[in-house]
Chains A and B, each alone.
Chain A
């Protein structure tokens, strides 16, 4: 089963490496991984798309929860959610016929043509990963010249949020340290 795991991590040195390292060391799949800062500058949000049966996903979440940098982990595929990925693709569009065809396809997939030369279209399509797959599929024999995908991000619908529960400042030491 495909799962989208959302992780809020401390914006600390080495956090990304530790999380990626955990997936490597334990042999978990990563289909895509994205990471970027959030509205709280001390935190980053990472989205990992992975495959595995329930036991594997359960282990992934539990193992992630053991990492110090990890603040919150959630499998957003647990509940209704929105998934988005961006695709940028360069195609050869030199004939009038192909230029028309690409414009139609871009309309159908609600994409945009971002850049044009005499021979090239650069197209943007945004949507769930499966939609981007479908777009690439639909190109058929018109082999793309270059493809770049952002990797998926996701967010739960409605009230559900992946958030930091305790927003308080770093706790003072609860041990007596000679003060």
Chain B
């Protein structure tokens, strides 16, 4: 029953770890594959077993993030389910559609503190988009199907289905179509689908755009989640509007595009953040003025006379920053409607002076780092990998400095190439996410850029890479500690490196990779051999592991301190900043100010 719904929903891969309370459904996977196996011997529903259930959750998330399809994972009750709380919350925070099926003790045993029992409805209810507990087996089929509907509709998110063991063994007639009657939710989704932009709304938008001289698109993960990258690019090009992206939005605009200013925010590029300081009209699309972007809402884009906000979630409108124009709807539809309206009405305001200004910001304040050091600079490693991949690879990361360097120094030509735990900031995300992404994209180059702190969190999944012979590339930037924590301790805790220094840790990561069966397992200690080894690593046909010993003192810059405005951005020793008093008014010549 469960498997048939999954198959009907197009599921081809399940990530999961077995256990007592989910055994009947694991048996069903076995039987389903046995009955439906193709002549080439390939299982219609692959079962991928991680080292730890958390890994399964992040694999499903990596699968979903890189493909846009719902990721599915299946674990047992109690500890199996609680191990997935982190990926469920992570997927909620980044709006990733996954369906988790958790075994539960039999209905009669629930509430008795049975073996491997945990109150999953309570625990997950506070983390997931929704949790279903199937108490009536007649509703099993509808519930699983509805879980997929909920995961992918509106603002996507994780849905948990808690399945008591005796419900799993129930036998009934398969109907093949029914859904649960979630009338309120479904009605809201229906009105969302119908929420077309009115002519009046479009007219007011173009009035604001017409009055602006320095409009800026500020785009986020919503553009990627709703598959609106094409519409975004068409809109930006149609009206010649530069684009800054959140960490979640990277790839929605091709980062090598002339109109792209890459990432904004706490560790955004200097030129993106200067553009935010200088713009007079912010157009937020699928982004939410998160504290890593707008630590103080009133200091964000201080010269913006108008703020427009397009989002699928009404609760995000006005939550942080008051806006004067908003539309609740799908990003793609809305942008297309706006583009059409602007074209039809012949909107032709020339933003070229502003675009030129932004290009000049990029030329004058490019990303840079210490290029003379004998120690390997992590930024250089990523710059070189980016040259090798041409911005075409799927890249996942852990959390910390390496994550920000990868965001800053790598290009993303298309959406769904950049997989990172943006909101929750979960260390250990990178490796399992890369595994999930490789399953969804067997022919693409998938690189996990990781840190020594982050990779330790789910190190067990190294073995999963070789077990399934996945050509995942693991690039470990080892700076002997939790670099981002150290950076903050340097800045705000007077160099007291409490708990963040790992120089005494003895682990030999290369040996670990060899032990797990990696055919390519190398370490680079010096600048001289870096390029050559990186090329061999990226081009290796099969699972590859490369550890690069990087300068432990390298810092992530630019940096906008927590709670600060972009005016107080610190660009560090290597990125050229601009005189803080030299705002747009003096930087743009009078003809550009119009």
Contact = CB atoms under 8 A, between A and B. Distances in A.
Given A14-B133, A172-B177, A179-B176, A21 B183 contact: no
Contacts of A177: 8-9, 145, 176-177
A148 interface: no
Contacts of A165: 187
A166 B187 contact: yes
B126 A21 contact: yes
Interface string A139-179: 00000000000000000000000001110111111010111
Contact of A164 (B8, B179, B183): B183
Contacts of B203: none
A174 B84 CA distance: 31
B8 A178 contact: yes
A68 B150 contact: yes
A175 B146 CA distance: 11
Interface string B116-154: 000001100110011101010000000001000110000
B132 to A, nearest CB: 9
Contact of A65 (B121, B176, B181, B314): B314
Contact of A179 (B177, B184, B186, B314): B177
Contacts of B183: 10, 71, 164, 166, 168, 170
A172 B187 contact: no
B31 interface: no
B174 to A, nearest CB: 10
B313 interface: yes
Interface string A57-74: 011001101111111100
B178 A13 contact: no
A117 interface: no
Contact of A172 (B126, B179, B188): B179
Contacts of A18: 125
A25 interface: yes
Nearest to A13: B133
A27 to B, nearest CB: 13
Nearest to A60: B315
A17 interface: yes
A173 B145 contact: yes
A17 B125 contact: yes
Contacts of A63: 315
Given A13-B121, A170-B181, A170-B183, A58 B176 contact: no
Contacts of A62: 314-315
A55 interface: yes
Nearest to A72: B184
A14 B1 CA distance: 24
Nearest to A64: B315
B313 A66 contact: yes
Contacts of A168: 183
Main SS of the interface on chain A?
A: loop
A12 B178 CA distance: 18
Interface residues of A, number: 35
B175 to A, nearest CB: 9
Contacts of B181: 10, 42, 169-171
A91 B253 CA distance: 71
A13 to B, nearest CB: 6
A23 to B, nearest CB: 11
Contacts of A10: 181-184
B130 A68 contact: yes
B30 interface: no
Contact of B318 (A55, A172, A178): A55
Contacts of A70: 184-185
B583 interface: no
Contacts of A166: 183, 187
Interface string B174-209: 001111111111111000000000000000000000
A62 B182 CA distance: 17
Contacts of B122: 14, 17
B496 interface: no
Contacts of A58: 318
B185 A68 contact: yes
Interface in A5-27: 8, 10, 13-14, 17-18, 21, 25
Given A21-B125, A70-B184, A173 B178 contact: yes
A81 B163 CA distance: 43
Given A13-B133, A62-B315, A65-B314, A170 B125 contact: no
Nearest to B121: A14
Interface string A75-119: 000000000000000000000000000000000000000000000
B439 to A, nearest CB: 23
Contacts of B318: 55, 58
Contacts of B237: none
Nearest to B148: A175
B186 A25 contact: no
Residue among A8, A25, A175 with the highest chain B CB neighbour number at 10 A: A175
A72 B176 CA distance: 29
B315 A13 contact: no
B319 interface: yes
A173 B179 contact: yes
Interface string B278-306: 00000000000000000000000000000
A58 B322 CA distance: 13
Nearest to B185: A68
A59 B184 contact: no
Contacts of A8: 184
Residue among A14, A66, A68, A69 with the highest chain B CB neighbour number at 10 A: A68
A25 B179 contact: no
Nearest to B5: A177
Nearest to B8: A177
Contact of B184 (A17, A21, A71, A171): A71
A169 B182 CA distance: 10
Contacts of B179: 170-173
Residue among B135, B180, B315 with the highest chain A CB neighbour number at 10 A: B315
Contacts of B180: 170
A47 to B, nearest CB: 17
Given A169-B181, A173-B145, A178 B314 contact: no
Interface of A: 8, 10, 13-14, 17-18, 21, 25, 42, 55, 58-59, 62-63, 65-72, 164-166, 168-173, 175, 177-179
12 contacts: A8-B184, A14-B122, A17-B125, A18-B125, A66-B155, A67-B130, A68-B130, A170-B178, A172-B177, A172-B179, A177-B8, A177-B176
Given A171-B186, A179-B177, 14 more contacts: A13-B133, A14-B122, A14-B125, A65-B188, A67-B130, A69-B184, A72-B184, A168-B183, A170-B180, A172-B177, A173-B145, A173-B149, A177-B176, A178-B8
Complex A-B, nearest 6 residue pairs according to Cβ-Cβ distance, in ascending order: A170-B181, A71-B184, A62-B315, A177-B8, A68-B130, A179-B176
